[in-house]
A and B are shown apart, each in its own frame.
Chain A
Amino acid sequence: MKQIIEVNNLNFGYNDSLILKDISFSVDKGDFLGLIGANGSGKSTLVKLLLKILTPLSGEIMLLGENISRFKQWDKIGYVSQKANSFNSSFPATVEEIVTANLFSKIGLFKLPKKHHKEQVYHALELVGMQDYGKKLIGNLSGGQQQRVFIARVLVSEPEIMFLDEPTVGIDAKSEEAVYCLLARLNQELGLTIIMVTHDISAITIHANKLICLGENGLFIHDPKEGITAAFASELYGYGVNLHSHDCKNCLREVTKC
């Protein structure tokens, strides 16, 4: 299968200390990759490096077969940041305006959005179940609703790769389930490659086909089908972890249904 992201011998640190040491891995087209690890292990940092928000000290990153320093097709990359909903909540912008903004590369510089762009916007909002909230001010929505809007904002530009940094933080269990369902469906039906940072190990093992764990001893790749054992998790997090397993059958049925 086509390698869509390739990382070779990547090193990165903010000041003196290296946070990511000699990281190498690859992501195939159509992967649903879970990125897990303790707080401060460098998950968000790794995502920012892949998005060129940060520059590596050394090593190579290839996106869609091209070196990141020459990469231009940013419209094929979507990103829902960990801080996506920490914007100033009194910002006077509607859901529709925010999602439309991300159609920039389709509308073009200096041009105004047309009718079919608006249809695309409402289609993206429909995918996340927010089509009735188009005219609402973003600050007047709940945290989970805002998060779904930010996912729609990414979906509207029909990316090939979608990065999500803890998108389900502050979302109730039902909406969280809905987000996972949505992502699984986009992954399976549209072939969207998904890279998702999360602490919800049980849920991600069900949906992801590949897990990357960042720990004290660097990075290791894990097959979620083998399941995550408590011993493995405590090695990863450095302390004992009790895993509460979801009702898997029910969850899988949800996935096939949605």
Chain B
Amino acid sequence: MPPKSILKKTTVVANQPPPATDDRPVNKKHLEVALHHANIIEQRKTAEREVLDSIITLLDFPESPDADPRRPSSSDALRFSQAVAPFQPADYDSLIEERNIAAKCGYALCPRPKRKAPSAARKQFVDTSHGVQIVDKKSLEVWCSDDCARRALYVKVQLNEEPAWLRQGSHGDKIELMVENSEEHHKALPLRLKEPADSKKPADREEEDVAAAWAAHDDALADLAIERGEKPGRLSKANKDLIQDKIRERVAATPPEPPSLPKDTIFQSHMAIEGHIPRSSKSKDENDDDDDGNDAQDWDKHMG
């Protein structure tokens, strides 16, 4: 007598697509949908891997130990702004977190170590222009200076909330930097300002104007950042504020998921051991395509 299958025949049949002769168009459509989802998952994996690679690169940034975050070299600036362009704000937070763990200033164009709080206390007193303020030790130890905080957050507010793998025409994602040597960068960096209409101006006048316009533009964007809740040196708090404004949009931006049944115990029963479902598998509903509700069968007794 051949051994019995451990799976109930009925459930196996129920899981299979309808016979091919019935509904060819439907099957084809299913296939397309499945392919579409597979593609999105693939794109997502690739994008996530790229973000990780960029963060690893930016961990050891900038290469020169005496680089100046206010006046970065144009190659550093270009590499940095291109690396973070696909980032979501949360990815950027991860970059800062990882740099901080490596004891570095959170701003990737800064080679200095992060600031150290004067004491080990969880809350710290800090002198500001508004008088003494109490801040978290953690937020104090994110940057080397308030200046770097400002420049780093200026980048963050430009990041797209939408995941890179769902963005349309990602070539539009250009990140501008807050720099004081813009004249060295305006060829490499995206230049938003139009060329002055009067092109007969002497070249140096023109350079000055562009630099001034950039500076004004920088200030305006920095003001915007503050208005949007980004405060220098208060990253995590500010981050929350920023995201809350956009929560509805982000919901729409989550990757589509295949429909799933409610998280029912029967549904999870293939994970059960003696009727008990280990905790880690309860919350996950992947691989739920097998409905073998009754697997605890003694089909092994011949095996010894």
Partners in one complex: no
A residues lining the B interface (CB < 8 Å): none
B residues lining the A interface (CB < 8 Å): none
